[in-house]
Amino acid sequence: MTSSQVERVETLRWCNGYLEMIDQRVLPAVFRYLRYDSAEAVAQGIREMVVRGAPAIGCAAAYGVALEALRQCEASGSDFTDRMAGAFNVLAASRPTAVNLFWALGRMRKRWDSLASQPAAAQAHALLAEAHEILAEDIRVNRAMGEHGAALLADGARVLTHCNAGALATAGHGTALGVIRSAVEAGKRISVIADETRPFLQGARLTAWEMVQERIPVTLITDNMAGFLMSRGEVDAVIVGTDRVAANGDVANKIGTYMVAVLAHRHRIPFYVACPTSTIDMSIADGAGIPIEERSREEVTGFRDCQWAADGVLVRNPAFDITPAELVTALITERGVVHQPNLEQLTALAARR
Ligand code: MRU
């Protein structure tokens, strides 16, 4: 199937006993699903970014646990337990920054612990049901977030986004792009400016594709053009997703987000962060404590078969950066909008249902 014939983006789906995931490394040139049957294979898919985006990674990890339980349920009691422990470990080691991965694994672990007295096959089926519920819940949460966030966007708003926080980064609808989708569904005329998002090009390849599919007007820019457009009054709001929010409201997101936030502040443009409450990590005091993934040098020295940098050059490739809470106009969550997030506000939000 070509990527222009896709009717509905199902980032992950359960199909005939397997997990299938859209291969996000090759979009938009190729639209294909890859099939997964074990925790190790899912962990590799997360590491290699077949699936990416914090909530989608969490969903994939939940299915990774369920797949392993289904695969191992003929094993003897202690072998089953050991192999399941191995599955949790391999999935937890796949990517470090998005807390949704650890949130989903924690939830699967809790469910597994509650099943200890049951036969392995029953455990496996209950774990699969839990993974399905995590996926369904993610879509519900994104829709709720979309409704809260849509109210912040004026009719006609030109909204800049960085990376991809869309349906492809979640189980569906998206976080930042979910807010945009909900605003469009509410009848607002919204146009999107997509930063290309070097080096993996999530903006150019994924955000632009999602918006084109839905006929939401989208303009692609390279990352270094954002300041110019803002200085000319061509951006009304910025909305991004996040991989982890610290207890004080500092936000980890795709590398380059901090730059956009500083520019937005300079030009008095609201900077919104859309995230499910599962992305808020109250155990980390501030952004300095959030682990930042460093990826391979090849992502910076070239793209696919094309190498543009000299062999031997030193390279840095941090995949995320930290935007201090003071630059965040508001966090948009499924429980409501938190203006100028800080420890007090996030503590109150955690207590709210
Ligand atoms: O490296 P990626 O593509 O997994 O990074 C994704 C992002 O930074 C997203 O903005 C974030 O996960 C939020 S997705 C709803």
Domain boundaries, the chain: 3-142, 146-351
Q: What is the mean pLDDT of residues 65-90?
A: 95
What pLDDT, on the 0 to 100 scale, is given for residue 134? 98
SS3 312: coil
Active site residue 305: no
CA 202 / ligand 1 centre spacing (Å):
9
Q: How far is it, in rounded angstroms, from Cα 100 to Cα 245?
A: 11
Q: If you average pLDDT over every residue of the chain, what do you get? A: 97
The Cα 216–Cα 239 span in angstroms is 15
Instruction: Report the run of H or E that residue 20 belongs to, with start and end.
Output: strand 18-22
**CA distances (Å), 289 to each of 95, 97, 283, 316, in order?**
16, 11, 10, 20
Note the helical H segments in the chain.
Answer: 39-47, 54-72, 77-92, 99-113, 120-150, 176-185, 208-213, 226-231, 257-266, 298-301, 343-351
* C-alpha 90 to ligand 1 mean position (Å): 20
Q: What is the pLDDT of residue 76?
A: 83
Q: Is the CB of 163 under 6 A from ligand 1?
A: yes
With a 6 Å cutoff on the Cβ, whether 253 touches ligand 1 is yes
pTM for this model (two decimals) = 0.96
- Please check the confidence at residue 2 and state whether its pLDDT lies above 70: no
Q: Strand 280-281's sheet: what is its strand order?
A: 280-281, 244-246, 251-254, 320-323
pLDDT at 8: 76
Structure confidence at residue 81 as a pLDDT band (50, 70, 90): very high
| 202 close to ligand 1 (CB < 6 Angstrom) | yes
pLDDT at position 1 is 63
The pLDDT value recorded for residue 284 is 98
Pick the CATH number of 146-351 from 3.30.460.10, 3.40.50.10470, 3.20.19.10, 3.40.50.300: 3.40.50.10470
CB 222 within 8 A of CB 216: no
Residue 9: pLDDT band by 50, 70, 90 thresholds? confident
The model's confidence at residue 314, banded by pLDDT at 50, 70 and 90, is: very high
Instruction: Give which of 86, 69, 73, 67 is closest to 19, Cα–Cα.
Output: 67
Report which of 348, 338, 304, 296 is spatially closest to residue 26, judged by C-alpha positions.
Answer: 304
- pLDDT tens digits, one per residue of 12-40: 999 999 999 999 999 999 999 999 999 99
CA-CA-CA-CA dihedral for 350, 254, 30, 14, to nearest 10: -20
DSSP state at residue 203:
I
Q: For the segment 172-201, what is each residue's pLDDT rounded down to a tens digit?
A: 999 999 999 999 999 999 999 999 999 999
Q: Is the CB of 243 under 6 A from ligand 1?
A: yes
Six-digit token pair at 189? 């005329």
Task: Tell me if 3-142 shares its fold with 146-351.
Answer: no
CA of residue 200 to ligand 1 center, whole Å = 11
Please tell me the predicted confidence (pLDDT) of residue 224: 98
Instruction: Give mean pLDDT, residues 153-167.
Output: 98
254 lines ligand 1 (CB under 6 A): yes
The rounded Å distance from CA 1 to ligand 1 centre is 25
CATH number of 3-142, picked from 3.40.50.1370, 3.30.365.10, 1.20.120.420, 3.30.420.480: 1.20.120.420
| Ligand 1, atom 15: closest residue by C-alpha | 165
* Active-site choice (138, 195, 236, 243): 243
Give the mean model confidence (pLDDT) for residues 50-71: 98
